[in-house]
Structures are given as C-alpha cells and as structure tokens.
Amino acid sequence: MPTSPVVIGVDSSTQSTKAAVTDAATGRLLAVGRAAHTVTGDGGARESDPEEWWQALREAVAAGLKEAGTDPSAVIGIAVAGQQHGLVTLDSAGRPLRPALLWNDTRSAPQAAALTEAFGGPDAWLARTGSVPVASMTATKWQWLREHEPAVADAAAAVRLPHDFLTERLSGVAATDPGDASGTCWYSTATGAYDPGLLDLVGLDPALLPAVAASGAERVGSLTRAAAGALGLPEGIAVAAGTGDNAAAAVGLGLGGAGLLDHPVVSLGTSGTVFAATRTRPASAALAGFAAADGTYLPLACTLNCTLAVDKIAALLGLDREDAEPGGDAVLLPYLDGERTPDLPGASGLLTGVRHATTARQLLGAAYEGAVFTVLRALDELLVAAGLDPADPGVRSRPLRLIGGGAQGHTWVETVRRLSGRPILIPESQELVALGAAALATGAATGDDPVTVATRWGTGRGRELPAVARDDAAWGRIESVLGDAGGLLTGGDR
C-alpha cells in the first residue's frame, strides 16, 4: 500500500468512465477502474443519460481503489476530464431534464449553418471564439433544443458540459475551465469569458452557465459529504475544475505552459483528433480554435469516423480488426456518421475502385486508409494554421505523438506511418486523459503546475518508430476520390 498521497484522475468518455488511481509524487498508475456508458440514437442522434455517467464514476472509483489496495484516506484530490461539447440540461434540483446530446450528435447541422450566417459568417465567429459552428459544438445543440424541444429549453435551470456536470456532483460548485468552455461556441477565446453577443444570439441566460475557472487545475471546491459517501472518499479533498478530454491528454503529454509547444498529437479513438499546444491564438475555419486547460491554446481538428467506423467495416466483412492489408485500387471513405472535418454532416460511406482481384482484407485496409487519410489531412490544416509548412523536411522530421486506443493496434500504427511518412512516438502511458486529469487533481491539491507535474511523472515518454517512405500513390488515390465524390458522398448536403 503506497505511503505517499494519491490522486484520482477521471476520464469520462463517450463509451465509458475510467478512474486512474495515481501516486501523486511519482505518477505511478496504481490501478484503473472502469465502467461502461450507454449511447442511444440513430439517424444522427447520439444521446446518453448523465445520471449513468455519475453512476459509472462511482463504480470506476470503487473498482480502482479496490484493485490498487489503496486506503481511501490517502486520496488528496480528484479531477474529471470529459467528452467535449455535450449538452446537459438540468432542473433546479440538478437533475437532467432529458438525455444529454453528445458531441457526435449531428442533428444540429442545420442550426450550425444558420448560426454561422446569422452572426456574419465564419470570420466573425473566428474573431470571437476561434471556431466556426459545426454540429458538434454545444451552441448548435442548444439551438436545436430550442427549436425542437422548446419546453425543455424553457425549463432548464442550468446548462452544463459533461465534465461540468460531474464536477458539480463532486463539489457542489458550478464550475468549468477555459479548455472545455472554448468548445461551446459561446465562450470567447479572445476575451477569456462568455460572449454576451453570442449568448444573446442563442437565447441563453448566462446565469444558467457555470463559472469559468482560471485553469483546469484550479481548486474550485471540496468533495461534499454526499459525494464522499457515494465514492467512499474523504470529505473535503480537493476538487479541480477539470477540463475536456483532449486538453487533459495534452497535460498528460506535458504539452503547453512550460512544456512542449507545437508538437502535434494524433489521437485515434471513437473520433480521430489532431492537436498541438501553442501560445498563438489560432483562427482558421478548418480548425476548432480551443483554449488549453492551462492558459495556452490547443488548436484542434476532429474527425467523427475513426476506430468505431473501421471496426464496423471489419464486422461487416467478418474479419478481425487486424486482418487487413493495403487497399490496392480500392478506396473506402468510412464516413458512417457524417463527418466533421471535412464538414460533411450529411455524409455517408463511399466505396470505389473494387475489382475482381480485390480481397476482403484489402477492403478493410482501405477503410483504415480512408480514416487515417482524413485525420492526417486535418493535421496538415492544423500545421498550416500554426504557420508551418507540412511539406517542410524539418516539420516532417518531428515525431507525431500517437495516442488513443488505435495507437495500440498494429494496423492503425502502420497505416499512420505509411500515409504520413513521419516518425511516430507512442507514449508508454495508455491512459493519458485520465493521467492528465490526475495531474490537474495534483495541481488542485498542492498548487503545483499540472504540466510540470506530468513532465516530472514522465507520462509522455514512449517508444519512437522511424519514418518510412510515404505511400504517395495511396494518398493521391484517396485525395482524388474525395475531391470527385461530390453529392455521392454527401447525399446532396455539400
């Protein structure tokens, strides 16, 4: 049993909750408790019951403490990193009025387009928020709710993001952080505050929103008696503001603040995301210009269709996810749930180039290639926005940090290597979101800078794979198909 203080970092993602029981001094991961979530909906709808997130957090913490053999009295702090953008509406007692609309719910695509136009176009939004509304963003979901379920919107006594909801259950305090708030499209990265003009545009009373802490590591409150009883933890321990999942992963990698800057990260999970910590406020229509948890910036591009989409193709073909080989002439764009980058919310999957000689393994390989191409093209857009040339040898020689569940898959890793032509760094730590949250919890409990904490822990260290020659033929083939697909891909929704 450890003698040093312990913190708990919570990763509340789309599919599950993980609770990382972590030695606060060394960063040693003592145990990870897990509990699943339920996601429902079809036809673009994706919803979850926030109460299930709370129950999953309780179960994950209990499982983690039991596996670690940790005396709960050793725990000094807790922080939550959550899936971004989800819309949680609460009544006056803090209970959900309806299931949360998740980040990958694309029903609000028409509202995104209408809001963009109503506020003067993309440039006006970039100047305020650093991002242009897409269906993922919380403001578009709130507008959808106002139009489709006005009674629920009118009854809302509080509006929260997923991680805000859980932080409030822990501390009794309505608080968020700049990183997660910047994904709402009603928070201004230019001013570091909620934007009154944008709140007026979507008819949202700022009194319904949580206060924005200075950073994700700020101690916003203490664990309440009720939460302590539910979790089996000491009452009064530090509760950090927490942040969104990608911002927490950046902390876990030691990015931002006094840590590494402009080092790109590719995350292969339910979604595929690319991001980098910068001190320059980004403003590109191709990116989400998020804030980081610690006061720097975290420009990010996100694709909806990544590991789950490829797993679906594998299941349709009756193959294991590793039963793949390069796609040959086949091109498969696995846009099974619409797409965010490129902004094609009405997209469906597209398969072309199939011949008599095409094998099932090649079709699965083509799905990998289509997903990886989409993520890497988003990375190129991020680099350009940061003032870097993606083709510059010096830029291309910098390793890509590859994280997420896909980073543990051989075919995912090799497809990224082959289509990027860049060296790859795979961190040894597999729970970077939860460990980033643990660093935020340590900061809340001790006052230490969380990026410095994570750097000291070494959670960003890993094995580096050398670059291989880029498969320009595959890249060009996919690029040509995407450019020519037009209405076939979008169903007329360009």
Q: Which residues are annotated as a binding site for substrate?
A: 84-85
Closest CA to 103 of 140, 146, 62: 140
Closest CA to 451 of 298, 299, 300: 298
Which residues, 6 or more positions from 123, have their beta carbon under 8 angstroms from its beta carbon? none
CB neighbourhood size of 346 (10 A): 18
Closest CA to 434 of 39, 21, 51, 66: 21
Residue 13 CA, chain-centre distance (Å), reads 8
Task: Please say whether the beta carbons of 308 and 268 come within 8 A.
Answer: no
Phi, psi (degrees; rounded to nearest 5) at 337: -120, 35
Closest CA to 50 of 94, 81, 104: 94
Phi, psi (degrees; rounded to nearest 5) at 300: -145, 145
Closest CA to 351 of 321, 316, 397: 316
Measured CA to CA, the distance from residue 417 to residue 69 in angstroms comes to 40
In terms of C-beta density within 10 A (0-12 exposed, 13-18 middle, 19 or more buried), how is residue 146 classed? middle
Measured CA to CA, the distance from residue 472 to residue 235 in angstroms comes to 58
Phi-psi map region of 411: left, alpha, beta (phi>0 left; psi -120 to 50 alpha): alpha
Which residues, 6 or more positions from 472, have their beta carbon under 8 angstroms from its beta carbon? none
Task: Please say whether the beta carbons of 260 and 454 come within 8 A.
Answer: no
Side-chain half-sphere CA neighbours of 254 within 13 A = 17
Measured CA to CA, the distance from residue 436 to residue 457 in angstroms comes to 11
Residue 97 CA, chain-centre distance (Å), reads 24
325 DSSP assignment:
-
Per the DSSP assignment, residues forming a β-bridge with 352 are 331
Residue 371 tokens read as 């997903």
Per the DSSP assignment, residues forming a β-bridge with 268 are 272
Per the DSSP assignment, residues forming a β-bridge with 193 are 188
Residue 245 known to be catalytic: yes
The catalytic site residues sit at 245
